[in-house]
Structure 1
Amino acid sequence: MDTVTLAAFPQAVALPPEPVWRLTLDQYQAMVRSQILTEADALEFLDGFLIPKMIKNPPHRISTQLLRQVLEAWIPEGYYVDSQEPITLATSEPEPDGAVIQGKTTDYRDRHPGGAEVLLVVEVADATLARDRGLKQRLYSAAGIPHYWILNLVDRQLECYSNPQPGAAGGTYGDYAVVGEGEAIVFPWEPDGERQEATDKTRPVVGDLL
């Protein structure tokens, strides 16, 4: 696993050339409650904008399912795994492909989990790779989510971001590591002693998710 200090990926959000109406989180949630927006619209609310979701191709669908299976097998006590369900941030309600969330599902009957309750978010990226490295990274780090992974289907690797710095240029992660297709996955909640056993053959490798 190669580890570097992250400073390379662009953080700015390119605004449309024409005037647009930027929604607040309250406005967006009111539109959902009143069914002005529904699941059929296939939109994601990111940084005040309604952005079309990408159509899922078979590799994306399979990797998302494999990711959930692996996370559920290695999840820490007191957390649960969710997939493609909303989490509420200051200006967004993204629907990450994987999330490790504090508590249990029934703790969130009246609201979606917030950033402070999310230990790890994961995006499965092919056509959305630039967005996941840029806008999504900025939103997740600004929310203080400790760990963000991108399962990169294009380059067949796992990109691991940690050490969020919410005040840095709108939010960024200070540390970044790449785990190759044949390398073992080390989960951020594991004790340091267990991290040393990353070559254990029972441990999943990135290729198991591809």
Structure 2
Amino acid sequence: MFSPASGYREMSIARTHHRFSLADYEQMIDQGILTESDRVELIRGEIIEKMSIGELHAACVKRLNRIFNVRLVGKTCVGVQDPVRLGNSEPEPDVTLLTPRDDDYADGHPEAEDVLLIVEVADSSLEFDRVVKREIYAENGVVEFWILNLLDRTLEVYRQPQADGRYDEVRVLSSTEKTDLVRLPGEEFVVADFFPPLG
């Protein structure tokens, strides 16, 4: 429509989204077109900028890393913001527990069958993690996905992935509750330990 006030014709402009394959994306990284300073990840074939990490977010990632490395020594390989290949996506979850391998995945990024647990630490990214990331993880058969919710100081536990992007088992645990791990039976964690002390 024409706007007399502006003197310009208003029009709807369709934006074209370019899709990238995993091979395209990894080639851009190998060639230095994308570097660690770009802070991006491949989500459903699109290169998406990652959210900024605040102090509390960073502290919780450090705590998870320390707890898992101390408690699960020899049982798992702990990844921190490392890529995982999932269909046409290559997200970089905050923390990943992987099946141990002698090469520590030097021969290729882990895939869904290597994953014991994915954890996303969420404040500003909460809805993105609950919807987009959750669907990707479920569709690709990630057996267990946690969201450490910094806004409510709760842990959201997702299990029993379905091909349509749902998890059949969803629990929201308060900081006083405990959780175990599907793929590492016998290990139990208190949710409060994942957060720095209040005050």
TM range (shorter): 0.7 to 0.9
Structure 1: gaps spanning 5 or more residues: 1-16, 196-202
Structure 2: gaps spanning 5 or more residues: 1-13
Which of 30, 53, 58 is the equivalent residue of 2:55?
A: 58
Matching residue of 2:103: 106
Question: Which consecutive segments of 4 or more residues in structure 1 shift more than 6 A?
Answer: none
Tell me the TM-score normalised to structure 1 length: 0.81
After TM superposition, the structure 1 = structure 2 runs for residues 163-202 of structure 1, keeping only pairs within 5 Å, are 163-166=160-163, 168=164, 171-191=165-185, 194=186
Answer whether contact 1:126 1:152 (CA < 8 A) is retained: yes
Partner amino acid, structure 1, of 2:52? I
Provide the rounded CA distance (Å) in 1 between the counterparts of 2:33 and 2:151: 35
Q: 1:164 to 1:73 in 2, by over 3 A?
A: same
Provide the rounded CA distance (Å) in 1 between the counterparts of 2:158 and 2:40: 25
Higher relative contact order (CA 8 A, sep 6+): 1
User: 1:189: Cα distance to partner?
Assistant: 3.4
Partner amino acid, structure 2, of 1:42? R
User: 1:110: Cα distance to partner?
Assistant: 2.0
Identity %: 36
Provide the rounded CA distance (Å) in 2 between the counterparts of 1:26 and 1:61: 30
Deviations 1:33-92 (A, max 9, x none): 111111111111111111111111110000001111222233275421111111111111
* Greater C-alpha Rg: 2
Deviations 1:89-138 (A, max 9, x none): 11111111111101236241121111111011000000000010011001
State the secondary structure of the residue aligned to 1:161: strand
Q: What is the Cα-based RMSD across aligned positions, in Å?
A: 1.8
